[in-house]
Amino acid sequence: MDFEPILNTFEDATHVMGYSQGKLVSHALWVTRWLQCPDAPALRTAYVEAVATHTTARRMGFATAVMRSLATSIHDFDLGALSPSETSLYLRLGWEFWRGPLAIRTPNALLPTPEEEKVMILRLPNTPPLDLDLPLSADWREGELW
């Protein structure tokens, strides 16, 4: 799969990469997004995207190492977040599911997110107390909204 078109959709992304014997085998990136609960300030969020490990390097700890490095690198954000396709890695690393309804903020309205969309969060040193059952919204963006 050619990942370049997907990677090109992320502006100002920070990449974390894992190498084995000089070859790139694992990757994740984050972009800054603003997530918000009702009647609360928007949270500066490191939104994680494009977590991938080459098939020959899976189950060898590369994704774990990349995600641990990423978590250390985002410690000054209010929150970490992602929309996972697989969840076991993130659960092992302390990520939690947001249980409340999700929406996308546009200039004119909140667009409800289909229930099948899931978001996980990682609490960081600057994370305020959170009620994971409240609604959560993200700023609108091109492409995949979550």
Averaged pLDDT, 118-136: 98
Listed by start position, the domains of the chain span 4-139
Q: Strand, coil or helix: what is 72? A: helix
Q: Which two tokens stand for residue 25?
A: 């085998």
Q: Are 80 and 90 in contact (CB under 8 A)?
A: no
| DSSP state for residue 6 in the 8-state scheme | H
Q: What is the pLDDT of residue 142?
A: 82
- Rounded CA separation 106/108 (Å): 5
One-letter identity of residue 82: L
pTM: predicted TM-score of the whole model, two decimal places: 0.90
Domain 4-139 class, CATH top level: alpha beta
Tell me the backbone φ, ψ of residue 72, rounded to 5 degrees: -65, -40
Give the pLDDT confidence of 46-71 residue by residue, as tens digits: 999 989 888 787 888 899 999 999 99
Q: What is the pLDDT of residue 143?
A: 78
